[in-house]
Amino acid sequence: MEFNVRVRFAPSPTGPLHIGGVRTALFNYLFAKKYNGTFVLRIEDTDQTRYVANAEQYIIDALEWCNIPFDEGPGKNEKFGPYRQSERKDFYKKYADKLIEKGWAYYCFDTSEALDALRKNKEAEGKTFIYNWHNRENGSLVNSLVLTNDEVQNRINSGENYVIRFKTPQDELLRMEDEIRGNIKIDTNTLDDKILFKGDGMPTYHLANIVDDHLMEISHVIRGEEWLPSMPLHILLYRAFGWDAPRFAHLPLILKPVGKGKLSKRDGDKLGFPVFPLEYTNEVSGDISRGYKEDGYFPESFINMLAFLGWNPGTEQEIFSLKDLVENFDLKRVSKSGAKFSPEKARWFNQQYMQTKSDFELTDLYMPFLKQKGITKNKDFVLNVVSSIKERAVFVDDFWELSSFFFETPTSYDAKASKKNWKEGTPVLMTELITIITSIEDFSSSNTEKDIKAWITAKEIGFGKIMQPLRLSLVGKLAGPHLFDIIEMIGKEEVIKRLENAIEKL
């Protein structure tokens, strides 16, 4: 890039950060890092009625967990601060006034009741009410385009409530360029005159967004598809101010697993998967929403999964480190169409990353769980356990189900497996096997396997008649890693104890 890349992620602190928002942050981060640019966090809290006190910290914590921290933002490198729009509100009125002076905006004194009446009248006629060139000067509306300057000033001085609207140009075919969607054209006659400044003294998103992007020298606006209808207004606002507009890129929606409609929290609740990066507690209701972190996902797998929701590298490769994503990311490879979310694919990514983790790292994650259960096996033993089971695990939380038999003697046995594999003559064979095991001095996996298989061969019986009941006795079910590795790890005394228990209970 021939200029300094500066991108921003600008969420509203109205609740937990949805994974769609995280993906927007991720794509901004990847683009910034690819071009040695700056990733800015700006908190867009102009809507104070929906403000949630702990939402901002949640957003920051989520970005940190995802390993995509911002370069500039609240409390960090505040070169263009403040970074909360509520702390910048004195800026915006000045710019709204500039638009009025230049003829690009006007005061409106219409009451909510009057506007509601106009809407209902239009609906009765089968039409839609739009506040724009059709009616802004025909006398049915009360604004500074039909009032004298003195009348406007008197209304303002008397404390009458007003808003400031943008004066959308008439009869123009507006041509725009989107980095993902290409050329876009729109007839300005179809646009309404959006409110830029509200009666409560706060700007709307549209004005604050444009002013802040300009003052913070944002070069690229990478945001969700839901903001695409706002692009014409934003382009016109840049023109009205006489500023160069940034380049725009509108990302596709993340769709429900069924492929229709935008992914929502309700979908996650219904189908049993999280839609937020971190667990979130609603301060008002006390309701707790699940998070990917608490569900056991690695941040690397979560980010890798998100990157593929709307972007592809153009190859068959699916596993990308964050560094790889930065190197390969290209807005030209972002799709225009929505990306279907797959809970199964999310789990698959986590399982792939499970295999890349060292046994030492996974052991450190598993040890606290064992400690909570009062299990005090040494770390080397747990390391061997983890090494033997991690290929079958998706989450560290799966470890106990896959390995409990290494730490505890089974107290029950799988009914179906018992019925099929524990026959009338099995107790006699298992009693004889105890004698064989007792005589083995070298209790390594390879040696016990050699001696026991030699005994089975000498007896001229099928291996299944011994191996299946033996596994059932040691594990409680027909599952687990290599049987003779289990035997070596739990030791001769425990093997004999478990065989005796099975003979007694089955």
Q: CA 393, CA 96: separation in Å to the nearest integer? A: 57
Average pLDDT of the chain, as a whole number: 95
DSSP 122: H
- Which pLDDT belongs to residue 14? 87
Q: CA 489, CA 480: separation in Å to the nearest integer? A: 13
Q: What percent of the chain has pLDDT over 70?
A: 99
Q: CA 399, CA 57: separation in Å to the nearest integer? A: 32
Would you place residue 360 in the very low, low, confident or very high pLDDT band (cuts 50, 70, 90)? very high
Contacts 24+ apart (CB under 8 A), 88-95: 88/208, 88/212, 89/46, 89/201, 89/202, 89/203, 91/211, 91/215, 92/197, 92/202, 92/203, 92/207, 92/208, 92/211, 93/197, 93/201, 93/203, 95/207, 95/211, 95/241
Would you place residue 2 in the very low, low, confident or very high pLDDT band (cuts 50, 70, 90)? low
**365-388 pLDDT tens trace:** 999 999 999 998 999 999 999 999
- Which pLDDT belongs to residue 287? 84
**236-245 pLDDT tens trace:** 999 999 999 9
Using DSSP's 3-state secondary structure scheme, residue 132 falls into coil
Using left for φ > 0, alpha for ψ between -120 and 50, and beta otherwise, residue 206 falls in: alpha
**35-73 pLDDT tens trace:** 999 999 999 987 777 787 889 999 999 999 999 999 999
Find the range with the poorest average confidence among 174-183, 208-217, 257-266, 389-398. 257-266
- Which pLDDT belongs to residue 53? 80
Q: State the residue for tokens 């896959």.
A: 402
- Which pLDDT belongs to residue 86? 87
- Which pLDDT belongs to residue 103? 97
37 and 3 Cβ atoms separated by less than 8 Å: no
Would you place residue 267 in the very low, low, confident or very high pLDDT band (cuts 50, 70, 90)? very high
Would you place residue 1 in the very low, low, confident or very high pLDDT band (cuts 50, 70, 90)? low
DSSP 253: P
- Which pLDDT belongs to residue 259? 85
- Which pLDDT belongs to residue 439? 95
- Which pLDDT belongs to residue 79? 93
Using DSSP's 3-state secondary structure scheme, residue 7 falls into strand
Query: Which residues are the active-site residues?
Result: 265
Work out the angle at residue 29's Cα, subtended by the Cα atoms of residues 326 and 305, and round it to the nearest 5 degrees: 65
With 70 as the cut, is the pLDDT of residue 493 above it?
A: yes
**84-98 pLDDT tens trace:** 998 988 889 999 999
**446-481 pLDDT tens trace:** 999 999 999 999 999 999 999 999 999 999 999 999
Is the CA virtual torsion 139, 145, 149, 151 positive or negative? positive
Q: What percent of the chain has pLDDT over 90?
A: 90
Cβ neighbours, 10 Å, residue 400: 16
- Which pLDDT belongs to residue 48? 74
**162-182 pLDDT tens trace:** 999 999 999 999 999 999 999
**115-173 pLDDT tens trace:** 999 999 999 999 999 999 999 999 899 999 999 999 999 999 999 999 999 999 999 99
Q: CA 321, CA 252: separation in Å to the nearest integer? A: 23
Q: How far is CA 128 from CA 119, 124, 258, in A?
A: 7, 9, 33
